[in-house]
Structure formats: C-alpha cells, structure tokens
Structure 1
C-alpha cells in the first residue's frame, strides 16, 4: 500500500519551496529559485534508487527505472512540471491538512475571512470524508503540478520497493516554466527516449485527456493622433475609441466566461491605452482546427474593415500560433489512451475522458514526436488561494502510474 503519510510529507516538502516562474524573463528556467526544488528532486531521485538521473543547464530533469522483465516492452514516460504560476504568489506556502472533511465550509484564514465553501466550489462535496490539503488563504497551493511530481516519485519508489510488479523501462521527466508556456521548449525528446509518455497534470480524479485547444495570441495596435484637446476638432483621433469599436465588434458571447466544453473563444486579457496608442492583447482558442483558423480570419478581417472605414491604417494586428490540439498526434496511437483508461477501471476509478480547455506540455511534446496524453493529478481551483487537493486522489494517481507500467509490460509479454 502507498502510505498516506508519505504522500503528505513529500507533497508538503515540494509546495513549501517557492518555484514561481516569470514570463518577463528570457532565461530558462525563468527564475533562479526553481533550481532549489530541481536540485532537491535530483537528490531524491538518486536516493530512492532511480538510475541515469540527469539535470541539464536549463533544469530539465530526467531519470530511469530499468525494466525488470526479460522481454521487449515499449519505453514509457511520466512528466510533470515544478514551476508554479505567476498569476498568484507561491511564496511562503503554509499548507493546511483537513482530516475527514465534513462537507462544510473550510475557513482558510479567519483574520481575512477567506472561506473555501462547497456552496461556491461544489466539487468539494465529492471528497467528503477524505483528507484535504488546502492553502492558508494567502497563497496558491502548488498542486499544479507538485501533486504530479509527488505521484511520479512515489510511484517509482513503490515500484522499486515491489519488484514483483513487472514493468518495462520507465523514464520520468520534470520541467521548468510550464506555467508560462515554455515547459516543452527545451525538452530533449530524443534524450528522453520514450515511445510515449503521460503528463500527470490534470485536475479531478479520473480525468484522462488527449485533446486540447488550438491556441494563438494576437496583439492589436491602434494608432491615434494626440493634439491639445481645446483645439482638437477635426484633428484628434482617440485610439481608445477605435479600440473599443474593435472589442465590441467581436462576438460578445464567445468569451471565456460564456463558453464551456468544446466551445472556443476570443479572450481580451490586457488593455494599455492612451489617446495616441492603444494596445490590446488577445488569446484565441478552439479545439476544432477549422474554427480556429476562422477565428484568426475574423480578427484579420475586422482589422481590414476598420482600416477601410478610417481610410488609413489605424490598426495593425500580429497573430502568432502558440500550440495545437494534440488529438491529431494521439489518435493514431490510441492504445496509449486505452491503457490509461483500463488502468483506472482496474483501480475502480471512473475515467473522465474530456478535452482540456487549455494547453499542456503534452500538446507540444506530441508535436515534437512524443505522444503524451494527460492524466489527473487530483488538485482543484488551480492558480489561486482556493486551491486544494484530496490526498486520496494523489494516492490513486500514484496507483494509476504503477498500473499503467504493469499493463504495458503485460500487453507486450507475448
């Protein structure tokens, strides 16, 4: 059995190390403090008996658990990231452990009246009677994705301690800067040497995902003319008004707060404006490649129309693709999803196969030649003060890793 106490101890040791990444940095990792946990993980992997433990100059960690069978088995991998999002502070995390959760409000911080309530976060009720790890209300928790690292290290330790569980060669990888979209940028797929892998970076227990958004970013620059407002008639052009026209011309209900499931969106996440110039920053998301291309075309056509209306180039737009739906790369090797699904079923976990409304290292890795579905790590309410993770979900995720390894060896035993 995988020990609850060991899982808690390991997880707490990770989340109390600040590893927040920084999108404004041009280094890898983007923050020096990520090295603190990275170096500790290298020491821990060696201590539990992993082989070929390496860390490169960019803090990418890889390690091997050798095969313990005498027949050929595909090499599989498990991957997680050790940075936390810059959306909310990850410094001085003080985890709270809630034993035998009673289904009621959890006071995270009495002084600041911060409450984690099932009235707002209904998923809490799924975990009544379980052990929850929460924040103290002033930081995020870091279950995204230190829960995944906890599960991978714990699974490797368990397999080493239980050689009667048969498995092929397993590779593990831990990456920096996933939260700022760079987790796979310098990942050496050839060095990793796996036939396929799984990111342990999902949320609710049972999640199994092999679809994600196609993604692009758009920067819209609107040029105005600034003159003295007392003498502005016929001369001033207020870029903020033109920017407002652009914003209001896009479909109002095709934004994140109005969409779900497979519905795509335009998301305006930054405005910086003065009379002379306004800059709008958007992300564009859609699971369907055709709809994705159409969304980009809508923004380009709107730019052209407004320029035509003003009879000069008042707007410029730059659209850059960011990542693509990994479904295209995973569907030809669907057996890797089937193995994960079977592993969950054998552990009495109901598989929740759905599309990710976001991105994942697995998307980029799939296009780099490493098909890489995503499996639940157990956390909820990522990127903020209300983040929590049920310990039982982390234990189950650890068991799923072990079972996938076992099933992969078994299916290739003839």
Structure 2
C-alpha cells in the first residue's frame, strides 16, 4: 500500500476483492520482450504500446497473443492509437486466429514500478469505450530486472480498471468520506487495481519456448554505437562469426541445459536463504522442537516483540510440509540404491561398448568391400594387358599400383621365373 500513496491512479481496494482470473501465455511475454529489445537497439523514440488478444469466459481472461501498435501524436501532447491502422491489424489477427475466436483483451506498455501514469489514460479510455469495457493493462517494468535476482518474479504487473470516488482513492478517506457522490459517473474517476495472474503454457507454446531457449546459447548482443567501418569492429565481427560457427546444435543444447540448471540452482539457493531468514526472525518459542517445558507454549501466546517478524501460521505449515517431504528424496536403503545405480551404469556402459563394436564391424565390412572392388579392378586391368593370370607385379611403383606399362614389364611367376626367362624357355621348347 505504500506505492498507492505516491500514485493517485492506483485503487485503495486490495486485489483480493477482484474476482478476475488472468491466465498469461508465454507468447505474450516473448512478443513484448522482442518489441522492447528492437525498440532499444534501434534507438527508436516514443512509447512502447501494443495490443493483447485473448479470450474471456465469465471472470476468466486468457492473454494469448500480442502485437505492437502504431501511434500518432495528439494536439495536447499525448499519443493515441492510429485508428485505421489499428482496426485493420486487429481484424487481420482475428482472421488468423479464428479457432478459437480471439478478441481484444487488453494492451501492454512500459511503466515504472509505481504503476500507470496519467499519459496512459487516453489510450486505456479509448480501448474501454470502443473495444472492451473490461480490458486489462499489462505494465512491464524492465528497470526492475537490472538489480533483481535471477529467476525471480516476472517484471510485470496486470491491472484492471475500476471507477471509484475520491474518498476511495485515498488511503484514509480524509475529506471525501462525509460527502456523497450524487453526480453519477462524472464524479467517479478511473483507477487501476492490481490483479493476480498465472502463467499457462500450451503444448505448442512449450515447444516454441524450448526452441528459443536452446537457440539463446549462441545469441550475440550487438552494440548499436559501434562503428562498423573501424578495424576493431570488423575484427570483433569476424571473431563473433567464428565463435558462432564453432557452436554446433549439440553445443547449444548443452549450454542451454547447463544455463537452465544454473538458474534453477540459484533460485533454490535464494529460496532457502529466504526461508532461513524468515525462521530466524521468528520469536524463540517458534524455534523449539516441541518437547521442552510448557514455558515455550506460554511464551508463544505472548505478543511478538518489534524486532521479530509477524507470525504467519500458513507459511509455517507450508514450511513444515516441505520438511516432511524431504525424507522422500533420500533413499531408505542406501546400499540397495548404490547397487541399482551401479547396475544402471553398467548397462549404459555395455550399450556403449556394443555400439562401438557395431561401428567397428561396420568399418571392417566397408574396408573389405573396398578391397574387393580394388582387387577386381586389378584383375580386369591384368586381363586387358594380356598378362597371364599366374603372374603378379613385382613392385607397385612406376605408373601406380597395379599398372602395366607393357607386356614385357618385369613380372615374377609363382614358380620363381621372370617373364623374360619364361619367354626364353618357351622359345627353346618350340625349337626342339
């Protein structure tokens, strides 16, 4: 409630009084993130505004798709949606996403953490009066991620708009509690009330988000202020191209997996530190084991001192339930668990060994096939040169392995006679 005192556009009513259930889809977050990134790197001027499409069934609202909007300046210095362009683009998205039919469910923009500002009211009123009287506002806070923890709460807030009098807008109702609003809607003012939301992911969205996360391992941020004509910029660009080529799909998948595990470990560590800090700040009576004297129970009934945190029994019960589930993660029989792990490790090693043996047999088979083809080729060339089949080449030099320059080349028979000696022996036998 501290922020409501500084921002008069926020309602004093708590968000628990609203019955709206918001289901946010990751595609909306990806679209907003991409729009903000392009707008920042290109040094574009003007606010960031976009529309959100979704469905509404009773008090349940799903935010499924989003797109950026074209803005025009007004005479009073504010900005508004380009009416013709917006209607055409909205109809195009409705035609594409027919089953199920989507409608304008709200819009998004960038706001500080304190909430919407006065220059956001014209666009919101325009959407309320012309398209959807229950449209929501998704306020994105990029500045909150600079010093925030990794894997923490999403830097966004979803608001619904309500009409209430000035007496409800102030925290204490100072001057308006005793005055009755009799002028109707003109006496009411537009306020924003924060809504709780949940992230809902479909199967197709899960595949798309997983692809984006895996591809983020080889992503490279480019500084727009760098001069491309300088030698340093060209060298950096060449180095970036070299690094991007080295990364294979397996490397990118490994980097994405390790990054996700590192973020999960950091988040777990921060949550454990938070639980420990909360338990440490409780009164000493809540840190006992429950088997001590009844003095601890008497101390628990006493009010907490200012240096201790407020006691929340719901949180304490949740912590106790979490602690009771920890033994389930530890195997009851460690020896049997080790044997089973060793057996699985041996099975994996055996499968790997069989795979290596199969690859070796395949390579040997391929080598035999190639040797058979080369041997057949040599036999064919030998027959073409007119060399008897019982003669083999004495060396593989000269014109190449198995080459026959002439029928009178040096050959050695299997019985030890050369080709010339064989010719002389044949002539002597013929003369006789």
Could you tell me the TM-score, scaled by structure 2's length?
0.19
User: Whose relative contact order is higher, 1 or 2, with alpha carbons under 8 Å and at least 6 apart?
Assistant: 1
Q: Which structure has the bigger radius of gyration?
A: 2
Could you state the TM-score of these two structures normalised by the residue count of structure 1? Answer: 0.19
More helix by share: 2
Greater per-residue strand proportion: 1
